[in-house]
Amino acid sequence: MTTKYSSIGIFCKPNLPVSTLLYTVDTILSTIYSIGANCSVYVETKTAQCVLTDRETDLYKNIIVGTFDEIKNSVDLAIAIGGDGTLLGLARQFAQYKAHIIGINQGRLGFTTDLDETDIKNELGSLLLHGGNVEERDMISVAVMRRSVTEKDKVFFSGLALNDAVVNRAAISNMVELDVWVENSFLHSMRGDGLVICTPTGSTAYALSVNGPIIHPKLSCFGLVPIASQALSSRPISIPADMEITVVIKNGPGTVLHCDMQTVTELQDGDRLVVRKSIHKAKMLHPKTYDYFALLRKKLRWNINPGRIRNNSSSQ
C-alpha cells in the first residue's frame, strides 16, 4: 500500500518518562505497520537510546537509527513526541528541509501539538493513508548587532524562532529600556520588564500571558507586546510581516534575549536587535479534521461556563 509519506522520523523530548515514550513509540510503529505502510522509519539517536533497550519485538527490526544530521535529508514526515517546546525545536531544525512536522502531545497545553495519545491509531493512520492539511507558518530571523572596536556593527548573535523573540530582564536586573523602530520609523521608547516580538503561532504563547492579541496563523503579521510597561499607554501592536523591526538596547546590564525561550544571549547598551521575516517556514501537518477555533476553545477552555461551575460547586 502506498502512503503519502515514504520516510518517517521519530523524535522525542529528552526527559520523557521511559514508560510513556515506549507506549507512544510502540503505538506509532504498530499503526504504521498495521496499515501496510511501505515506508522507511528513522528514530533519532537519543530517542532510540530510550526505547531500544531490550526491545526484541518485530516492531523495531527495520528501523534506522541516526542523529539529526544523519537523517535530516531522508525524512519527509517528522513526528515530535513531547510538548510545544519539542515541536518548536524540531521546526527550527527542519525549517530549511523538506519535512512536514506533526506533534504528539506529552506536555501541558500543547497549542502546536495536534495529536494526543488516544488519537495516534486513528488520526496518524489516516494521515499516512490519505494525507492531511499542510500549513506553512511564518518564522522570524533574529540578529543582534554590536559595535566593535573598529566602530563597525557586527552580528554578535543570530537565531531563528517560530514563536517569538523576547527581550527581558534576567533574574536580577533593572528595568529594561528600549527604543523600538519599525522600518525607518521610530515607534516608541519603553521602560518595563521587556518586549515580546511574536509570530501568529507565538501569539498564543508568552505574548498571550502578557495580554497580547491572539493572531490567526494565516495572517502575515507580527505582534509587538510590552511586558509590564511602566507607561500604561504602551499597548500591543501588530505590524505587517514584511516590515523590519529594530530594537535598540538603552539600559543593557541584566538584559537578555530568548528565541522561543530556548536560546539565551546577554545584551549590552547600544546593541541593536534586528527582527525580520525568515525566508524559511515551518511546515506543519494537520489532520483533515483540524479546526483552529476548536483548538482555541479546547486549550483555553472557552467551552467551560463559569456560572455553571459555580452553581455545581454551591449545590454540593
pLDDT along the chain (316 residues), means of 10: 79 84 89 81 90 71 90 94 92 91 86 85 86 93 86 87 93 85 95 96 95 95 95 93 96 89 87 96 92 91 67 51
Domain assignment of residue 14, yes or no: yes
What pLDDT score was predicted for residue 59? 77
Domain assignment of residue 1, yes or no: no
What pLDDT score was predicted for residue 201? 96
- Rounded CA-CA distance 246/181 in Å is 5
- Rounded CA-CA distance 257/196 in Å is 10
- Which residue in 113, 95, 97, 87 sits closest to 12, CA to CA? 87
What pLDDT score was predicted for residue 55? 62
Q: What CATH number is attached to the domain comprising 36? A: 3.40.50.10330
What pLDDT score was predicted for residue 60? 79
Residue of 54, 76, 84, 114 with catalytic role: 84
- Rounded CA-CA distance 232/299 in Å is 29
Query: Quick check: 110 and 299 in contact, CB under 8 A?
Result: yes
The answer to whether residues 218 and 239 belong to one domain is yes
Tell how far CA 131 is from the center of its chain.
22
- Rounded CA-CA distance 70/73 in Å is 8
- Rounded CA-CA distance 95/151 in Å is 34
What pLDDT score was predicted for residue 310? 54
What pLDDT score was predicted for residue 276? 97
- Asked about 84 being catalytic, the answer comes back as yes
What pLDDT score was predicted for residue 1? 46
By DSSP bridging, strand 153-161 and strand 185-192 are unpaired
Domain assignment of residue 187, yes or no: yes
Name the grid cell of 108: 501541558
The answer to whether residues 17 and 96 belong to one domain is yes
The answer to whether residues 82 and 186 belong to one domain is no
The answer to whether residues 187 and 62 belong to one domain is no
The answer to whether residues 16 and 97 belong to one domain is yes
Identify the domain containing residue 125 by its residue range: 7-132+287-299
Catalogue the E-assigned strands of the chain: 7-12, 40-44, 64-66, 77-82, 100-105, 133-147, 153-161, 164-169, 176-182, 185-192, 194-198, 221-227, 237-240, 245-249, 255-259, 263-266, 272-286
What pLDDT score was predicted for residue 238? 97
Query: Quick check: 244 and 183 in contact, CB under 8 A?
Result: yes
Domain assignment of residue 314, yes or no: no
The answer to whether residues 147 and 275 belong to one domain is yes
The answer to whether residues 128 and 143 belong to one domain is no
Q: Which pTM value belongs to this model?
A: 0.89
List the end-to-end C-alpha distance of the chain, in Å, as a whole number.
56
The answer to whether residues 263 and 151 belong to one domain is yes
Cβ count within 10 A of residue 297: 13
